[in-house]
Amino acid sequence: MKRISIAIDGPAGAGKSSVAKLVAARLHYLYIDTGAMYRAVTWAVQQRQVSLQDTASIQKLVESLHIRLEPGLSLCRVFVDNQEVTEEIRNSSVSSQVSQVAALAVVREKLVQLQREMSSRGGIILDGRDIGTVVLPDAELKIYLTASVEARAKRRWLENTAKGDTASLAAIAENIASRDTMDSQRAISPLRQAEDAIRIDNSDIGLEETAELIVSLTGDRMR
């Protein structure tokens, strides 16, 4: 059976990672969490207290980092230089700076190269903000997954609350709206819908239903 490449793009909090993992499990595809990769770099930058304005030091850091992804029960397990950082990269501190780090050319060039290498065999699904436009422009199926700021903020708040994060719903909504602006206006690989992407708004539907819709679309492309 033909195994295709699936690209899922969209703004923060739309459920891209959760949906991508569900689709990957149903299709027995490899899920590559690109957002976690950028979060891993952001975590490393913070741990080493490197200024976001010091691009030379960030470039030196990202070139030396070894980022590894492994399947997990709920989250893709993320390792930086053999240290697991799966939970640490999801905290509010990393969330507040990941868009700034992801906008740096020295970071994007390194991670895009790594993502393409990981995707070369097909039968993969990636999610992010520039997968269908930059990383995998020839992907057989492209999805642009979005939802209202209110719906996305509530989902993120519920996730954070379950993990003991005390950030308020209002603060999360403000952070998501700010990230939308930064991601869509950055000079390098801005967030935008690819011309051949299928737009799905899941403000009023669950992640399981969203995943089933994408699996159905995948079947159409595999024929």
Retrieve residue 185's tokens: 């206006």
Retrieve residue 93's tokens: 């501190």
CA 162, 74, 85, 108 dihedral sign is: negative
Q: What is the pLDDT of residue 70?
A: 83
Alpha-carbon distance values, 6 to 20, 25, 187, 203 (Å) = 9, 13, 25, 21
What is the distance between the alpha carbons of residues 15 and 1, in angstroms, rounded to a whole number? 28
Q: What is the pLDDT of residue 121?
A: 80
Q: What is the pLDDT of residue 180?
A: 93
pTM (2 d.p.): 0.77
Q: The tokens 């020839």 sit on which residue?
A: 138
- Tallying the residues shown for the chain, one arrives at 223
Contacts of 71 (CB under 8 A, 6+ apart): 31, 77
Q: What is the pLDDT of residue 74?
A: 67
Q: What is the pLDDT of residue 1?
A: 66
**One-letter amino acid identity for 171?**
A
Q: What is the pLDDT of residue 17?
A: 87
Q: What is the pLDDT of residue 3?
A: 87
**Closest by Cα among 196, 167, 203 to 11:** 203
User: Exposed, middle or buried by CB within 10 Å (0-12, 13-18, 19+), for 209?
Assistant: exposed
> Residue 29 half-sphere exposure, CB side, CA atoms within 13 Å?
29
Q: Where are the extended beta strands (E) located within the chain? A: 5-9, 30-33, 67-70, 77-80, 83-84, 124-128, 141-146, 198-201
Q: What is the mean pLDDT of each run of 10 residues along the chain (223 residues)?
A: 90 92 92 91 97 95 92 80 95 92 92 88 89 94 97 92 89 93 88 96 96 92 69
What is the distance between the alpha carbons of residues 103 and 66, in angstroms, rounded to a whole number? 20
Q: Where are the extended beta strands (E) located within 14-157? A: 30-33, 67-70, 77-80, 83-84, 124-128, 141-146
What is the distance between the alpha carbons of residues 151 and 177, in angstroms, rounded to a whole number? 12
Answer yes or no: CATH 3.40.50.300 is held by domain 5-218.
Answer: yes
